[in-house]
Structure 1
């Protein structure tokens, strides 16, 4: 087995450091972003939960028997995690694009 060159170690180390900086940046949210995420989670938690046999339009998967979905004001229903994920980058219903108030 050939020895690893110091240049190779440097490249790997630099790459690892870059990844760690990227991770730190992603995990360090500005205060406004943290508030926005908290408001979005609160919004999803306060949406009515309804039983449906429809398909979630975000993940395109059926609801399991007896599984509740979160109903947005326009009447469309989604898995709680799916609509939470969608609302983290959008402010409207994924189907009809009606605005969903974040508080």
Structure 2
């Protein structure tokens, strides 16, 4: 008990404590039983030591979770317009961040709810995989 008081007062004074002092507060670490109360230990996978084949099999068992939208939903919710050089401001001169191509007069642009624009076909393919803006990572189109 005396040792605990000494360690606590050293901590109050802002002094660094030693590993041995810390072990006074956590007897499970001291006795090598830190993971004894891990109820899910048998369920954990050691993916770092799995073979390529085991990882493929695991991927098949887990499957995919689609967070994308259907094509109909995308075109229903996304605002679209034509690109025109004369009406665009200087800040819009950056290329489409998906295909990295400059916008040309007459290109179809799709605007997300966050205000970012992309080529319509580029962003459609992206949104079919995940409903997030590729720039700011917010929800792209709200249903």
TM bracket (short chain): 0.5 to 0.7
In the alignment, what sits opposite 1:36?
70
Count of residue pairs the alignment pairs up: 67
Cα deviation for residue 43 of structure 1 reads: 2.4
Name structure 1 gaps, 5 residues minimum.
1-34
Counterpart for residue 81 of structure 2? 49
Q: What's the RMSD between the two structures over aligned residues?
A: 2.3
Q: Check whether the contact 2:99–2:122 (CA below 8 A) recurs between aligned residues.
A: yes
Cα deviation, 1:45-92, whole Å, max 9, x if unaligned, reads xx1426353311111111013534222121211000001000000111
Moved over 4 A (4+): none
Deviations along 1:10-41, one digit per CA (max 9) or x if unpaired, are xxxxxxxxxxxxxxxxxxxxxxxxx9332123
**TM-score if structure 2 supplies the norm length?**
0.40
| 1:71 corresponds to 2:111 | yes
| Counterpart mapping for 1:1-103 below 5 A | 36-44=70-78, 47-49=79-81, 51=83, 52=88, 53-103=93-143
8 Å CA contact retained: 1:39, 1:102: no
TM-score by length of 1: 0.53
